[in-house]
Structure 1
Amino acid sequence: MTARRGLSSLNVTFLGTASAQPSSTRNHSALALRLSGDVWLFDCGEATQHQLQKSAVKMGKIQKVFLTHLHGDHCFGLLPLLASRLNGAGGIVDDVDPRTQASKIESPLEIYGPLGTRAYVRNGLTYTHTLLGSPYVVHELRLPSDPQGGDHTTLPLHESESPLGRNILQNEGVWENVFRDDVVSVSAAPILHSAPCVGYVVQESPVPGKMDPSSYIPHLKRTKTPMSAMSRLQQGEDVTLADGTVLQAPARRSGRKLVILGDTYDPSPIAELAKSPDLLIHEATNAHLPGLDANTKAEDTFESVEVRTKSRGHSTPQMAGAFATRIGARKLALNHFSARYAGNDDANEHSKGIMQGIAKLAAKEFQGDVICARDFMSIDVDLSPDPQ
């Protein structure tokens, strides 16, 4: 992990927003979270590395991959990505020192996912005879019902697999701080789907509060203290003046919070952990859009579409909006759309109308901003306004 004193930016780029089957305008599920210089992937559907090559996200910056579940549309792109990212067959030029041809990656690329992730990666790399030039490690988020030992495979460690992979056990129904440093943490909880599935919560550490210079400058001038002290105060450090006066830095406030859900028909188990996010990313696989969607069945209603969608383990826009309201989200981004909903840009009036219709359905249950994601859409996650 690149050392960071703080996050200058927190950006989400959608690399794939389709459900089940890709379309000509939507790829399989993948999302890149850019934290200043580092990149973390959430899910890695088929052809994610192609999407990366078409985007502004640098593959060589990827440090972690978080899988929500092991359905193929969320993980079939992981092994090709590893081969490229870790200088295997078809290695990435950016990761190789041209003078020595040696990989510049020192610490293992970290992969997080449910039970079976380690077996999937190990078997896939072994039986495709994939050789990697740099290491990786797999951490599994284990449920109480999962076996305490074993990795769902009898194969030994792949030659590039670090033996330091953890089996992370739940504590009171959640996986708290599966990763944490001085700047950001990641926690997780199960969400309900047709297969074991995880939602992730990314929380920035507390940040300096808003500073009123007029509260400090007179004291600095009176004691002939260099104005550079203002920078220390802004970073949250108290300053003691020559006459013994202590200038207290503004109280720190909560950093940015991002909730990224996998496929779900009910994310209730993560609700407490997910409270008050600046951005919630929630699937909206199917919608009832009479008058907009030509494929709408005459016998369908909002209720019948919801029942059918839930039976397949998924959500409607209204369900996503209701959950956003329940947890107090500031913004809601919808993704994981059926292939019948094209992801063209706003120049395509039909596609634009469909997305506006889906957003309006979510807005019936949620009063905040609603965004319908399309491939390569990029969103900056901003801090909540200072409390009054």
Structure 2
Amino acid sequence: MEITFLGTSSGVPTRSRNVSSVALRLPQRAEVWLFDCGEGTQHQLLRSDLKSSQIRRIFITHMHGDHIFGLMGLIASCGLAGTGQPIDLYGPAGLEDYLKACAKYSYMNFSSRISVHLIQPGRVYEDENFTVSCLKLTHRVPAYGYRVEEKDRPGRFNVEKAIALGIPSGPLYGKLKQGQTITLEDGRKIRGTDLCDPPETGRKFAYCTDTVFCDAAVELAQDADVLIHEATFAHQDAQLAFDRLHSTSTMAAQVALLGGVKQLIMTHLSPRYAPGNAIDPRNLLEEARAIFPNTRLAKDFMTYEVPRNRTQDEPWQVAS
């Protein structure tokens, strides 16, 4: 699981930060899942190492323009590229009407490439490897945070040990890999769990924006390997955050602390904190680290590999 930040500004783009979009790359299945799709996302994709032809799912948090205005352009470009890849879209009420209106007045034909799934709190997607769920956050319009959970994988099967026990290869190996108990022709019972390493714990990723501090964000963040949380305002501008139902850097850190996450990455920064101003992004980072030390600050095109069994001191990866 590799995360790439395609847009880390709030409201409007700046010279160094585009508006919201985060890509989750799943190399084991050659897929990319997008979370939000602000204006210019397809241009950001062209400047990244990601392939738009691999986009399989897009999860929209809410219907504000800085999170959806890039959606139609991206869909159109994918269609014109002739990839033929189906795309599943997930989002709140209004998403399907918005897409239909845009398609009608731009004479675009989605055909059967696009499937829209309107979300409610709970599970929104599941397959053999992943589960995606959402909860309603606290914002001026209906907004949802997402949680992606990778399912646990069986531990490595010890073939050498199986051979030493005289177990013939074939279907019996498959049963043992699944942890089943088998009976050999000589009457011996062999437990698959004795021949497999401990299961590999699946990774957990949470994405919360736009929202003021709320219990739903803490629930989504529980035990996550990485939490991406908005930090639109500095702590001294907390009243603005409450008025506009956005988060401060300290609110993001409190969610991470209460959720017991391993890594917090803050995004969705207000342009008012551009470098050179009285308060800049480094100040927001210092505020958050005072509460939750393992905090990073996102920037456009930064990548973060979500590792297994990661220690807090393990380095992260940043794209140039």
What is the TM-score of this pair, normalised by structure 1?
A: 0.71
Q: What SS class does the counterpart of residue 271 from structure 1 fall into?
A: helix
- The residue correspondences of 1:143-162 to structure 2 (distance < 5 A) are none
Sequence identity percentage: 35
1:54-98 deviation line (CA, Å, top 9, x unaligned): 11111011111111001100000001111111x2xxx125x1xxx
Matched, 1:320 2:309: no
CA pair 218-81 structure 1, distance change in 2 beyond 3 A: closer
Matched, 1:255 2:202: yes
What is the TM-score of this pair, normalised by structure 2?
A: 0.85
Q: Alpha-carbon deviation of 1:236? A: 4.7
Instruction: Give the match for residue 307 of structure 1.
Output: 239
Once superposed, which parts of structure 1, at least 4 consecutive aligned residues long, lie more than 6 Å away?
Answer: 229-233
Instruction: Give the match for residue 22 of structure 1.
Output: 13
Q: Verify the 8 A CA contact 1:112 1:139 in the aligned structure 2.
A: yes
Instruction: Give the match for residue 154 of structure 2.
Output: 208
Letter in 2 for 1:69: H
How many residues get paired?
A: 303
Q: Verify the 8 A CA contact 1:190 1:197 in the aligned structure 2.
A: yes
- The residue correspondences of 1:106-125 to structure 2 (distance < 5 A) are 108-125=86-103
Q: Verify the 8 A CA contact 2:206 2:220 in the aligned structure 1.
A: no
Q: Verify the 8 A CA contact 1:225 1:241 in the aligned structure 2.
A: no
- The residue correspondences of 1:1-388 to structure 2 (distance < 5 A) are 10-36=1-27, 37-85=30-78, 87=79, 91-92=80-81, 95=83, 104-105=84-85, 108-132=86-110, 135-141=113-119, 170=120, 175-209=121-155, 217=160, 220-223=163-166, 236-238=178-180, 240=182, 242=184, 244-247=188-191, 248=193, 249-287=196-234, 302=236, 305-342=237-274, 354-367=280-293, 369-384=294-309
Give the CA RMSD over aligned residues. Answer: 2.8
Looking at structure 1, the residues matched to 2 and 162 of structure 2 have their Cα atoms a distance apart, in angstroms, of: 38
1:305-346 deviation line (CA, Å, top 9, x unaligned): 112222111111111000101111110010001113448xxx
Letter in 2 for 1:123: A
Letter in 1 for 2:94: G
Letter in 1 for 2:270: S
Q: What SS class does the counterpart of residue 271 from structure 2 fall into?
A: coil
Higher helix share: 2
CA pair 186-218 structure 1, distance change in 2 beyond 3 A: closer
